[in-house]
Structure 1
Amino acid sequence: MQKTILVIGTYDTKDPELNFVAETIQKMGGAVIEMDVSVLGDPSRPVTISKHDVAAAAGKTIQEAIDAGDENHAMQIMALGASKLTAQLYAEGRIHGMIALGGTMGTDLALDCARALPVGVPKYVVSTVAFSPLIPPDRLSADIQMILWAGGLYGLNDICMATLSQAAGAVYGAALAVVPPKPGQPVIGMMSFGSSALKYMVHLRQPLVDRGFSVAVFHGTGMGGMAMESLTEQGYFAAVLELAVAEIGNIMVGSAVNAGANRMTAAARRGTPIIAAPGFGDMIDFPTWAPVPERFRNRPYHAHNRLIASASLTGPERRDLAREVARRLKPSTGPVHFVLPTQGVHAWDTEGMPAHDPDALAEMVEGYRAEMTDPIQLSVVECHINDLAFSTRVLEIIDGWIADGTIRMDRR
């Protein structure tokens, strides 16, 4: 079956490149809808959606975009219109994926368009700043794909065409191959780390599947939290299991391993049922390849691999993290239940391991006891987070919510 790809870009500055992408998709048997998001110039030939259409979708005219004062404000108008039109085209069944090209301006707009599409719809951004720290995690959609546009700032060349043809093939191939999420099946979003450190996902996944859920487990390394937060914002989950909180601690100390300032807030805003726990609530993560911040240099330190390493928090810092987690959970318009294990929060804090600190653990437990007050419900379990007893308590809460209708088993 032929698929249609939305091609987005500024046709006044990248007309040859955008036409090359469209032609590559068409040579593979695909169809395209082209959207011009430029402001000043015009494409070499008419496109499906003109810049005037894009501005109109934002409630403006091109002249108003020009009169906005600078290109940043003008492109924000175009980004609003482009993202609205992207969502509309998908809702009407007219597109099966999108690809956008850009430098910093085009990428900024493309991120909004990608977020307008649900998970499972291929969304590719060819960008001169792909993988750059300029792009904050909370701007990324959950399943966005990016490719670095090497040599692509201005004009077609061999390197540029190699990149663009790969991207065109990737987005069209993805549109043909994608297995979309099952409609109607309730989904549980769960935050965790690898099973060498946290075992609850091993204990919980199959029982949740047996209850009729699809279970999506996210890796709490910044990008995982970004994806989970993005899907939560879309109302994708019947409930979220925020059982690992390291990303919040990372935000607090300025670590690059974070999912953005709004992490662990979407479920509260939407009223999505939340079960939370302090998994990894005693460690801060850093890139292994970067110098350890001076504040953490004389602390227990675990290099997990050549990418990520962790340092321990003190007892008072763990209390601060407990306070911050509570601050993010308490505004929830839906139910929140915090499950507090008293004997440890990951495999590295057990006796004989580098992060074992019974006094700081006790202070952390007391911190969560003090902070998890109304409207949060608190369950204290005398076990380690990796013990089956912890997961059993989580399942008991879920079963109660299923029984009283808090968790809907029909996804709408």
Structure 2
Amino acid sequence: MSVVIVGTLDTKAEEIGFARDVVEAQGVDVHVVDTGVVGEPGFEAETSASDVAEAAGTTLEELQEEADRGEAMEAMGNGAAEIAQRLHDEGVLDGVLGLGGSGNTSIATTAMRALPVGVPKLMVSTMASGDTEPYVGSQDIMMLYSVADIEGLNQLSRQVIANAALAMVGMVANEPDVEVEDRPTIGITMFGVTTPCVQTARERLEEKGYETIVFHATGTGGRAMESLVEEGVIDGVLDVTTTEWADELVGGVLNAGPDRLEAAGDEGIPQVVSTGALDMVNFGPRESVPEAFEGRTFHVHNPQVTLMRTTPEENAELGEIIAEKLNAATGPTALALPLGGVSAIDVEGEDFHDPEADAALFDALRSSLDDDVELLEMETDVNDEAFATTLAETLDEYMRDTGHGPASDGV
């Protein structure tokens, strides 16, 4: 067993050395990766700062001469990621622990994000009580707030760092007894307003012998699913909830970036896509909604989440974007349209019921889709049991036709 500790030995050698000693006292090997750029290291690391810089395609001397902190942090992060991947491939890395302020938090979590899901990753950081999304991204990174700055050892820092070190030892020394079944895996996207559809579809797929992984379509959820598609963990996609594109287009807080809806198509795996929750753009508390959107239709989902209804114009553009993404797919692809409403609050009598806006979305999709994309239309809303069943059965058919389906139906 071996824990990799990533840190800047020119400024945090005392603290990193303490963490190393705690881990080693438990009988676990330690491999220190030095990411310091400015000064001399406090002790010799197994992987030096020069090695990290070289892995990033530069030299430590060049980074020191240029004296650009931002550029140096980016380079050392990229180098640390290369080193972490190599150590993991060589069996030297069973878990990774990071310590630091904003600089090494950026560097160490870049290395962590390069590792597969399931590899223990723990970052002790002064930044852990704020917005951690830039550091965690779509990976399983744990962040522990350091309480005091990581500057010298004292009664607080010793306790926090020791807890982190012991937690890492516990994770690498005790392999979880997780049942892994040899079944094809389906990634599914869900929102609260598409939950009934996903629950029904998931049950149908599991009955047919698939394992399912459901992702909350909150931006990071969509990115996580697509990352696992690229890694080969996911064999087929049921993209019920494409709402992240509404946030990407209009400016909401739950966007997944401009590459969303590309991974399954690029990898050529079967996918069935729908228009779940494209009636809404997500913001935080009501008072956080930009003034530019005043006068629009809103629905307060809870005190922390405010939804804004998409307009016919926005929906028409969304239809064109989604069609373009699906047209580029290299594997079997279907688009399913729930003509009775794309979310639980886009049905008659609910706040976002807007047939004109939905029609703009559906018309744009119809007119923009290539013939290679199968188009399914049903006079139901997205959460109707018949619609969910059709999604599951269509994807199952694609999976079996391409040889990705279960060896036999599930019980």
Do the structures match in fold with TM over 0.5? yes
Deviates more, 1:283-292 or 1:67-76: 67-76
Aligned twin of 1:25:
23
Could you say which residue in structure 2 is the equivalent of 1:122? 120
**Alignment CA distance shift 1:277-1:91 (3 Å):** same
The 5 Å alignment of 1:143-292 reads 143-175=140-172, 176-179=174-177, 182=180, 184-194=182-192, 197-288=194-285, 290-292=287-289
Task: Tell me, yes or no, if the aligned pair for 1:7 and 1:34 is still in contact at 8 Å.
Answer: yes
- Range moving further from structure 2, 58-67 or 92-101: 58-67
8 Å contact kept, 1:5–1:99: yes
Unpaired runs of at least 5, structure 1: none
Taking the aligned partners of 1:98 and 1:82, their CA distance within structure 2 comes to 11
What is the aligned-residue RMSD (CA, Å)? 2.6
Q: Deviations over 1:234-261 (max 9, x none)?
A: 2321012221121111111222222334
CA 298–76 in structure 1, closer or farther in 2 if over 3 Å, else same: closer
Out of 324, 327, 339, the position equivalent to 1:327 is 324
Partner residue of 1:7? 5
CA positional deviation for 1:283: 0.8
Counterparts of 1:60-79 in structure 2 under 5 Å?
A: 60-68=58-66, 70-79=68-77
Matched, 1:341 2:366: no
Q: What per-residue deviation string (whole Å, max 9, x for no partner) do you get for residues 292-332 of structure 1? A: 33344333322222221212112222112222222333333
- By how many angstroms is 1:140 displaced? 1.7
Equivalent residue runs for 1:126-137 within 5 Å: 126-130=124-128, 132-133=130-131, 135-136=133-134
Using the TM superposition, name which of 80-89 and 356-365 deviates more. 356-365
- Aligned equivalent of 2:374: 377
Question: Who is 1:56 aligned against?
Answer: 54
Q: Does the C-alpha gap of structure 1 residues 118 and 183 become closer, same or farther in structure 2, counting only changes over 3 Å?
A: farther
The equivalent of 1:91 in structure 2 is: 89
State the 1:153 CA deviation: 4.7
SS of 1:45's equivalent in the other structure is coil
Aligned-partner Cα distance in 2 for 1:52–1:178: 36
- State the percentage of identical aligned residues: 35
Cα displacement string for residues 352-407 of structure 1 (whole angstroms, at most 9, x for unaligned residues): 22222233223322232223334432211221111122122222322222332253
Measure how far apart 1:179 and its partner are.
4.8
Q: Residues 46 and 72 of structure 1: is their aligned pair in 2 closer, same or farther, counting only changes over 3 Å?
A: same
Given the superposition, is the C-alpha separation of residues 261 and 337 from structure 1 closer, same or farther in structure 2, using an over 3 Å criterion? same
1:107 aligns with 2:102: no
Aligned length: 406
Alignment equivalent of 1:309, drawn from 299, 303, 306: 306
SS of the residue 1:241 aligns to: strand
* TM-aligned CA deviation for residue 343 of structure 1: 0.6
Task: Give, as a single letter, the amino acid of the residue that structure 2 aligns with 1:157.
Answer: N
In structure 1, distance between residues paired with 2:103 and 2:268: 34
**Match of 1:223, as an amino acid?**
T
Does the CA-based 8 Å contact 1:330-1:376 persist in structure 2?
yes
Distance, in Å, in 2 between the alignment partners of 1:367 and 1:103 is 48
The partner residue of 1:353 within 350, 355, 359 is 350
What amino acid is the match of 1:92?
E
Offset of 1:276 from its aligned partner?
A: 0.9
> Could you tell me whether the CA contact under 8 Å between 1:340 and 1:368 is conserved in 2?
no
Contact between 1:136 and 1:260, CA under 8 Å: does it hold in 2? no
- 1:180 Cα deviation after fit: 5.7
C-alpha distance 266-181 of structure 1, shift in aligned 2 (>3 A): farther
Bigger shift: residues 89-98 or 128-137: 128-137
Counterpart of 2:400 in structure 1 is: 403
Amino acid at match of 1:224: G
1:219 Cα deviation from its structure 2 partner: 0.8
Pair 1:46 & 2:50 matched: no
SS for the counterpart of 2:274 is strand
Contact 1:120 1:181 in 2 (8 A): no
Assess, with a 3 A threshold, how the Cα gap between structure 1 residues 408 and 31 changes in structure 2: closer, same or farther. Answer: farther
Deviates further, 281-290 or 178-187: 178-187
Asked if the contact 2:7–2:36 (Cα under 8 Å) also holds between the matched residues in 1, the reply is: yes
Query: 1: CA distance between counterparts of 2:129 and 2:281?
Result: 22
Distance 1:403 1:257, change over 3 A: closer
Contact 1:11 1:18 in 2 (8 A): yes
Give structure 2 stretches of 5+ with no counterpart. Answer: none
Taking the aligned partners of 1:297 and 1:407, their CA distance within structure 2 comes to: 48
SS at match of 1:383: coil
**Structure 1 residues 217 and 103, CA gap change in structure 2 (3 angstroms):** same
Query: Is the 1:120–1:180 contact (alpha carbons within 8 Å) kept by the matching residues of 2?
Result: no
In 2, the alpha carbon distance for the partners of 1:251 and 1:322 equals 13
Q: Deviations over 1:178-203 (max 9, x none)?
A: 45673754221111013x64312211
Asked if the contact 1:35–1:47 (Cα under 8 Å) also holds between the matched residues in 2, the reply is: yes
Distance 1:125 1:368, change over 3 A: same
Cα distance, 1:177 vs structure 2: 5.0
Shift of 1:135: 4.8
Deviation at 1:7, TM superposition (A): 0.6
Q: Deviations over 1:336-359 (max 9, x none)?
A: 211111111111122222222233
Comparing 300-309 with 247-256, greater Cα deviation is found at: 300-309
Letter in 2 for 1:320: E
Q: Partner letter of residue 357 of structure 2? A: A
In structure 2, C-alpha distance between the alignment counterparts of 1:181 and 1:223, rounded to whole Å: 26
C-alpha change, 1:300 and 1:73, in structure 2 (3 Å) is: closer
Normalization by structure 1: what TM-score?
A: 0.89
Deviation at 1:67?
Answer: 4.0
TM-superposed deviation, 1:133? 4.6
Secondary structure of the structure 2 residue equivalent to 1:98: strand
Contact 2:9 2:36 in 1 (8 A): yes
Cα 1:173–1:60 shift into 2, 3 Å:
same
On the 8 A contact 2:138/2:220 being kept in 1, the answer is no
